[in-house]
């Protein structure tokens, strides 16, 4: 060796990884509180459920026997899939459970895309579809939202010979817009099995509209449909990382090949299973809170003369007369963490998760103060 030790990253790293900018997660709360000089932080940035997990999940979490931590979990979330099969009237083999819905996004892209392929989704939606495609070397074709919603016609036009997957977030994070049953079916009919259509239903348990489509009930009719669900939002198990997909047997059998076994831990599997037992009471209480506080926010934001946009789901978008990233820092200094939306391609907008009344009041008060500071 006649030169300094080195690693030849230039040759080792694929171009699409070189081009990709890593996502930087926010620091842990105690670090943030130190940084911003506050002794409390209202987390309104991640659409978490502030009521916490359903009662039966709490019992599982409190009673988990430490020796169980030494054993590998079920490699395919066996009991949870049996329960999901029962709940939705499907075969347990039609489900794949992952380390959060985030992981099942990667399963699907790996299962269907090869060099030169692309995926189609919206420009302002959950960014993980786009990210996984791009850092894996596949083009993500982003169709602009239309009236805050996914543009079905635009998406159909973006399809070419190399399009493998269409991702639809229903209702959409961050806009809360949704396709009703007729529109979703019309889209699936138009695609006609030539692509996989993923419908991400991360927020479906929050939706109370009767015309909202339940992807699980469309699976029999549409063999190219794949539905995503998560335990992170309504079921308040985000910290345990567990979500799943459902589809027809043939499709799921293909996707299963790209799953990493044991990626879902034992505690998450058991807490998720229990969450489905306490289902109705928990969902009712959460929906009530969201409804009430969404109304409150709507009224207060109007009083402040701000434009807001609320659809289905546990979050609201607000347009600010200032930079959203600046607003983020100013709100943090007042103990309120929201999502700045430049990253969603909505500059000068923020997204606020709905939480308990005290947190909503703290947000409104902080917002009022930072707007007043501008003079």
Give the footprint of ligand PLP on this chain (CB under 6 A).
Answer: 100-102, 126, 169, 173, 200, 202, 230, 232-233, 238, 243
SS3 276: helix
CB of 101 to ligand PLP, least distance (A): 4
CB of 100 to ligand PLP, least distance (A): 3
- Measured CA to CA in angstroms, residue 119 lies from 137, 157, 168, 351 at distances of 11, 13, 11, 26
- Is the CB of 175 or the CB of 362 nearer to ligand PLP? 175
Of residues 124, 77, 127, 122, the one with CA closest to residue 102: 127
Pairing state between β 308-310 and 42-43: unpaired
CB of 120 to ligand PLP, least distance (A): 16
CB of 4 to ligand PLP, least distance (A): 41
Q: How far apart are CA 311 and CA 362, in angstroms?
A: 22
Of residues 224, 225, 173, 223, the one with CA closest to residue 199: 225
The DSSP bridge partners found for residue 230 are 243
Residue number with the shortest CB distance to ligand PLP? 100
CA 278 centroid distance within chain = 22
- Is the CB of 175 or the CB of 230 nearer to ligand PLP? 230
- Is the CB of 104 or the CB of 289 nearer to ligand PLP? 104
- Is the CB of 178 or the CB of 222 nearer to ligand PLP? 178
Q: How far apart are CA 329 and CA 99, in angstroms?
A: 31
What is the chain's length? 375
- Is the CB of 163 or the CB of 170 nearer to ligand PLP? 170
CA angle 372, 329, 374 (to 5 degrees): 20
CB of 232 to ligand PLP, least distance (A): 3
- Sheet containing strand 243-247, edge to edge, reads 95-98, 243-247, 225-230, 196-200, 163-169, 118-122, 139-143
CB of 149 to ligand PLP, least distance (A): 14
- Is the CB of 233 or the CB of 330 nearer to ligand PLP? 233
- Is the CB of 317 or the CB of 370 nearer to ligand PLP? 317
CB of 230 to ligand PLP, least distance (A): 3
- Measured CA to CA in angstroms, residue 190 lies from 185, 187, 194 at distances of 8, 5, 9
């Amino acid at each position: 060796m006649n030169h300094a030790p080195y690693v030849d990253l230039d040759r080792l790293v694929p171009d699409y990884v070189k081009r990709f900018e890593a996502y930087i997660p926010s620091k842990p709360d105690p670090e943030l509180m130190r940084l911003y000089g506050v002794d409390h932080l209202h987390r309104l940035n991640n659409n978490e459920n502030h009521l916490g997990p359903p009662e039966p999940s709490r019992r599982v979490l409190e009673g988990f026997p430490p020796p169980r931590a030494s054993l590998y979990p079920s490699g395919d979330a066996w009991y949870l899939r049996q329960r999901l099969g029962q709940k939705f009237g499907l075969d347990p083999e039609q489900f794949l459970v992952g380390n959060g819905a985030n992981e099942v996004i990667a399963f699907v892209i790996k299962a269907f895309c090869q060099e030169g392929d692309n995926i189609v989704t919206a420009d302002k939606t959950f960014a993980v579809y786009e990210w996984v495609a791009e850092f894996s070397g596949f083009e993500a074709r982003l169709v602009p939202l239309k009236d805050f919603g996914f543009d079905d016609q635009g998406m159909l036009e973006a399809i070419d010979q190399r399009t493998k997957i269409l991702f639809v977030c229903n209702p959409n994070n961050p806009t809360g817009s949704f396709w009703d049953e007729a529109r979703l079916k019309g889209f699936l009919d138009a695609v006609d099995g030539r692509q996989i259509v993923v419908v991400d239903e991360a927020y479906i348990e929050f939706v109370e509209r009767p015309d909202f489509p339940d992807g699980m009930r469309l699976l029999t009719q549409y063999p190219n449909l794949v539905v995503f669900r998560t335990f992170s939002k309504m079921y308040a198990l985000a910290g345990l990382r567990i979500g799943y997909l459902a589809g027809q047997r043939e499709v799921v059998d293909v996707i299963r090949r790209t799953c990493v076994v044991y990626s879902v831990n034992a505690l998450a599997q058991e807490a998720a299973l229990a969450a489905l037992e306490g289902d109705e009471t928990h969902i009712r209480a959460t929906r009530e809170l969201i409804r009430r506080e969404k109304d409150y926010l709507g009224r207060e934001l109007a009083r402040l003369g701000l434009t807001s946009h609320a659809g289905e789901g546990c979050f609201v978008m607000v347009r600010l007369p200032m930079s959203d990233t600046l607003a983020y820092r100013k709100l943090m200094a007042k103990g309120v963490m929201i999502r700045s939306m430049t990253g969603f391609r909505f500059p000068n907008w923020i997204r606020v998760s709905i939480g308990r009344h005290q947190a909503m009041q703290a947000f409104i008060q902080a917002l009022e103060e930072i707007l007043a500071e501008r003079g």
